[in-house]
Amino acid sequence: DTAVSQTPKYLVTQMGNDKSIKCEQNLGHDTMYWYKQDSKKFLKIMFSYNNKELIINETVPNRFSPKSPDKAHLNLHINSLELGDSAVYFCASSSLPLHEQFFGPGTRLTVL
Amino acid sequence: SQQGEEDPQALSIQEGENATMNCSYKTSINNLQWYRQNSGRGLVHLILIRSNEREKHSGRLRVTLDTSKKSSSLLITASRAADTASYFCATWGSWGKLQFGAGTQVVVTP
Protein backbone atom coordinates (compact mmCIF):
# COMPACT_ATOMS: atom_id res chain seq x y z
CA ASP A 1 0.00 0.00 0.00
CA THR A 2 2.78 2.38 -1.03
CA ALA A 3 1.58 5.97 -0.95
CA VAL A 4 4.04 7.60 -3.37
CA SER A 5 6.10 5.34 -5.59
CA GLN A 6 8.86 6.12 -8.05
CA THR A 7 10.60 4.04 -10.67
CA PRO A 8 13.38 3.34 -11.13
CA LYS A 9 15.13 3.56 -7.76
CA TYR A 10 18.55 3.76 -9.40
CA LEU A 11 19.43 5.06 -12.84
CA VAL A 12 22.96 5.00 -14.23
CA THR A 13 23.41 6.37 -17.71
CA GLN A 14 25.82 8.05 -20.09
CA MET A 15 26.01 11.76 -20.83
CA GLY A 16 23.79 12.77 -23.69
CA ASN A 17 21.17 10.08 -23.14
CA ASP A 18 17.46 10.72 -22.55
CA LYS A 19 15.77 9.14 -19.54
CA SER A 20 12.46 9.19 -17.70
CA ILE A 21 11.46 8.78 -14.08
CA LYS A 22 7.91 7.80 -13.22
CA CYS A 23 5.90 8.72 -10.15
CA GLU A 24 2.52 7.55 -8.93
CA GLN A 25 0.53 8.37 -5.81
CA ASN A 26 -2.50 6.53 -4.49
CA LEU A 27 -3.44 9.11 -1.86
CA GLY A 28 -6.02 10.90 -3.96
CA HIS A 29 -3.99 14.12 -3.77
CA ASP A 30 -4.45 16.94 -6.25
CA THR A 31 -0.91 18.34 -6.11
CA MET A 32 2.34 16.65 -7.09
CA TYR A 33 5.94 17.82 -7.10
CA TRP A 34 9.42 17.03 -8.33
CA TYR A 35 12.40 17.90 -6.15
CA LYS A 36 16.13 17.57 -6.73
CA GLN A 37 18.43 16.77 -3.80
CA ASP A 38 22.10 17.45 -4.37
CA SER A 39 25.12 15.82 -2.79
CA LYS A 40 24.94 18.21 0.17
CA LYS A 41 21.34 17.10 0.80
CA PHE A 42 19.93 20.46 -0.21
CA LEU A 43 16.39 19.92 -1.52
CA LYS A 44 15.09 22.22 -4.24
CA ILE A 45 11.72 22.18 -5.91
CA MET A 46 11.68 21.81 -9.69
CA PHE A 47 8.03 21.52 -10.70
CA SER A 48 4.58 21.35 -9.19
CA TYR A 49 1.31 20.26 -10.75
CA ASN A 50 -2.16 20.81 -9.37
CA ASN A 51 -4.90 18.78 -11.00
CA LYS A 52 -2.68 18.08 -14.02
CA GLU A 53 -1.89 21.78 -14.48
CA LEU A 54 1.65 23.13 -14.08
CA ILE A 55 1.70 25.66 -11.23
CA ILE A 56 5.38 25.89 -10.35
CA ASN A 57 8.18 25.81 -12.89
CA GLU A 58 11.44 26.77 -11.26
CA THR A 59 14.56 27.85 -13.10
CA VAL A 60 15.23 24.43 -14.50
CA PRO A 61 16.87 23.75 -17.87
CA ASN A 62 14.28 23.02 -20.52
CA ARG A 63 15.93 19.62 -20.96
CA PHE A 64 13.68 18.68 -18.04
CA SER A 65 10.06 18.19 -18.99
CA PRO A 66 7.38 17.04 -16.56
CA LYS A 67 4.24 15.33 -17.76
CA SER A 68 1.08 14.64 -15.78
CA PRO A 69 -1.22 12.26 -17.67
CA ASP A 70 -3.66 12.26 -14.74
CA LYS A 71 -3.86 13.47 -11.13
CA ALA A 72 -2.17 10.35 -9.79
CA HIS A 73 0.89 10.45 -12.04
CA LEU A 74 3.71 12.90 -12.61
CA ASN A 75 6.60 11.79 -14.77
CA LEU A 76 9.90 13.53 -15.40
CA HIS A 77 11.69 13.26 -18.71
CA ILE A 78 15.26 14.48 -19.05
CA ASN A 79 16.89 15.03 -22.43
CA SER A 80 20.60 15.18 -23.19
CA LEU A 81 21.71 14.27 -19.70
CA GLU A 82 24.71 16.12 -18.26
CA LEU A 83 27.10 15.27 -15.43
CA GLY A 84 25.53 17.97 -13.27
CA ASP A 85 22.17 16.22 -13.43
CA SER A 86 23.49 13.53 -11.10
CA ALA A 87 21.41 13.79 -7.93
CA VAL A 88 18.53 12.15 -6.12
CA TYR A 89 15.14 13.12 -7.53
CA PHE A 90 12.10 12.96 -5.28
CA CYS A 91 8.47 12.97 -6.20
CA ALA A 92 5.97 14.19 -3.62
CA SER A 93 2.27 14.87 -3.31
CA SER A 94 -0.09 16.81 -1.06
CA SER A 95 -3.83 17.33 -0.78
CA LEU A 96 -3.38 21.08 -1.14
CA PRO A 97 -0.20 23.02 -1.98
CA LEU A 98 0.41 24.33 1.55
CA HIS A 99 -0.32 21.07 3.34
CA GLU A 100 2.11 18.38 4.43
CA GLN A 101 3.81 16.58 1.60
CA PHE A 102 4.29 12.86 1.15
CA PHE A 103 7.54 11.87 -0.53
CA GLY A 104 8.47 8.94 -2.70
CA PRO A 105 11.62 6.89 -1.98
CA GLY A 106 13.70 8.81 -4.50
CA THR A 107 15.52 7.99 -7.73
CA ARG A 108 19.30 8.19 -7.60
CA LEU A 109 20.46 9.34 -11.03
CA THR A 110 24.13 8.96 -11.91
CA VAL A 111 25.35 10.40 -15.18
CA LEU A 112 28.73 9.08 -16.36
CA SER B 1 18.91 31.86 -1.38
CA GLN B 2 17.74 29.43 1.27
CA GLN B 3 14.73 30.49 3.27
CA GLY B 4 15.36 28.17 6.20
CA GLU B 5 18.63 27.33 7.88
CA GLU B 6 19.04 24.65 10.53
CA ASP B 7 21.42 24.76 13.42
CA PRO B 8 23.45 22.77 14.29
CA GLN B 9 24.48 21.11 11.04
CA ALA B 10 25.22 17.91 12.94
CA LEU B 11 24.39 16.56 16.37
CA SER B 12 25.64 13.45 18.11
CA ILE B 13 23.93 12.24 21.29
CA GLN B 14 23.44 9.09 23.32
CA GLU B 15 20.21 7.14 23.58
CA GLY B 16 17.92 8.58 26.18
CA GLU B 17 19.19 12.13 25.78
CA ASN B 18 17.15 14.94 24.27
CA ALA B 19 18.03 16.43 20.90
CA THR B 20 17.24 20.02 20.00
CA MET B 21 17.68 21.63 16.63
CA ASN B 22 16.76 25.09 15.46
CA CYS B 23 15.55 26.60 12.24
CA SER B 24 15.71 30.25 11.26
CA TYR B 25 13.99 31.80 8.29
CA LYS B 26 13.99 35.17 6.60
CA THR B 27 10.51 36.23 5.51
CA SER B 28 6.93 35.88 6.75
CA ILE B 29 5.46 32.41 6.54
CA ASN B 30 2.10 30.70 6.44
CA ASN B 31 3.37 27.54 8.09
CA LEU B 32 6.58 25.74 8.98
CA GLN B 33 7.04 22.00 8.61
CA TRP B 34 9.58 19.54 9.94
CA TYR B 35 10.61 16.45 8.01
CA ARG B 36 12.87 13.49 8.75
CA GLN B 37 15.01 11.68 6.18
CA ASN B 38 16.61 8.36 6.98
CA SER B 39 19.70 7.50 4.97
CA GLY B 40 18.80 6.54 1.41
CA ARG B 41 15.08 7.13 1.92
CA GLY B 42 12.49 9.76 1.14
CA LEU B 43 11.43 12.52 3.51
CA VAL B 44 8.75 11.82 6.10
CA HIS B 45 6.55 14.60 7.42
CA LEU B 46 6.75 15.06 11.20
CA ILE B 47 4.85 18.18 12.24
CA LEU B 48 3.26 21.23 10.61
CA ILE B 49 2.92 24.37 12.73
CA ARG B 50 0.92 27.33 11.49
CA SER B 51 2.08 30.92 11.86
CA ASN B 52 -0.55 31.61 14.53
CA GLU B 53 0.56 28.63 16.64
CA ARG B 54 3.38 28.70 19.16
CA GLU B 55 3.86 25.06 20.12
CA LYS B 56 2.86 21.62 18.91
CA HIS B 57 3.48 18.12 20.17
CA SER B 58 3.48 14.74 18.51
CA GLY B 59 4.63 11.79 20.61
CA ARG B 60 8.24 12.49 21.62
CA LEU B 61 8.44 15.52 19.33
CA ARG B 62 7.88 19.09 20.39
CA VAL B 63 7.99 22.00 17.96
CA THR B 64 7.96 25.66 18.87
CA LEU B 65 7.56 28.65 16.60
CA ASP B 66 8.54 32.23 17.36
CA THR B 67 7.43 34.40 14.46
CA SER B 68 8.90 37.54 16.03
CA LYS B 69 12.35 35.95 15.90
CA LYS B 70 11.58 34.04 12.71
CA SER B 71 12.72 30.81 14.28
CA SER B 72 11.50 27.36 15.19
CA SER B 73 12.90 24.52 17.24
CA LEU B 74 12.39 20.76 17.15
CA LEU B 75 12.94 18.82 20.34
CA ILE B 76 13.17 15.03 20.35
CA THR B 77 12.88 13.69 23.88
CA ALA B 78 14.33 10.40 25.12
CA SER B 79 16.07 9.76 21.80
CA ARG B 80 16.47 6.27 20.36
CA ALA B 81 18.93 4.83 17.87
CA ALA B 82 16.07 4.79 15.35
CA ASP B 83 15.93 8.60 15.53
CA THR B 84 19.25 8.73 13.66
CA ALA B 85 18.39 10.70 10.53
CA SER B 86 18.58 14.11 8.90
CA TYR B 87 15.94 16.59 10.01
CA PHE B 88 14.77 19.39 7.74
CA CYS B 89 12.64 22.42 8.36
CA ALA B 90 10.62 23.79 5.48
CA THR B 91 8.65 26.98 5.23
CA TRP B 92 5.55 27.82 3.23
CA GLY B 93 4.94 31.48 2.46
CA SER B 94 3.57 33.85 -0.13
CA TRP B 95 6.01 32.47 -2.68
CA GLY B 96 3.70 29.45 -3.00
CA LYS B 97 6.14 26.61 -2.51
CA LEU B 98 7.86 24.72 0.28
CA GLN B 99 11.43 25.89 0.83
CA PHE B 100 13.76 23.55 2.68
CA GLY B 101 16.76 24.23 4.84
CA ALA B 102 20.01 22.30 4.58
CA GLY B 103 19.11 19.95 7.44
CA THR B 104 20.54 18.79 10.74
CA GLN B 105 22.18 15.38 10.77
CA VAL B 106 21.40 13.62 14.05
CA VAL B 107 23.28 10.51 15.21
CA VAL B 108 22.00 8.68 18.26
CA THR B 109 24.41 6.12 19.67
CA PRO B 110 23.23 3.22 21.85
A4 in contact with B, Cβ within 8 Å: yes
Most A CBs within 10 A among B28, B61, B97, hence the mutation to make, goes to: B97
Residue A2 contacts B where some CB pair is shorter than 8 Å: no
**Cβ-contact B63, B73 below 8 angstroms:** yes
Ramachandran bin of A52, using left for φ above 0, alpha for ψ from -120 to 50, beta for the remaining angles: left
- The tens digit of pLDDT for each residue in A7-25 reads 999 999 999 999 999 999 9
pLDDT confidence of residue B94: 79
What Cα–Cα distance (Å) separates residue A31 from each residue in A41, B9, B85? 23, 31, 27
pLDDT per residue as tens, chain B (110 positions):
456 788 899 999 999 999 999 999 998 999 999 999 999 999 999 999 999 999 999 999 999 999 999 999 999 999 999 999 999 999 998 778 899 998 999 999 99
The per-residue pLDDT for range B70-97, each reduced to its tens digit, is 999 999 999 999 999 999 999 998 778 8
Tell me what pLDDT residue B1 has.
47
| Domain range list for chain A | 4-111
Domain A4-111 belongs to what architecture?
A: Sandwich (2.60)
Domain ranges of chain B: 4-109
- Identity at B3, one-letter amino acid code: Q
State the Cα angle at B11 between B10 and B12, rounded to 5°: 130
Chain A residues closer than 8 Å to B103 by CB = 41
A90 at B interface, C-beta within 8 A: yes
Choices 3.30.2320.30, 2.40.50.250, 1.10.132.20, 2.60.40.10: CATH for B4-109: 2.60.40.10
Whether chain A has a CB inside 8 Å of the CB on B52: the answer is: no
Substitution target from B39, B45, B98 for chain A, most A beta carbons within 10 A? B98
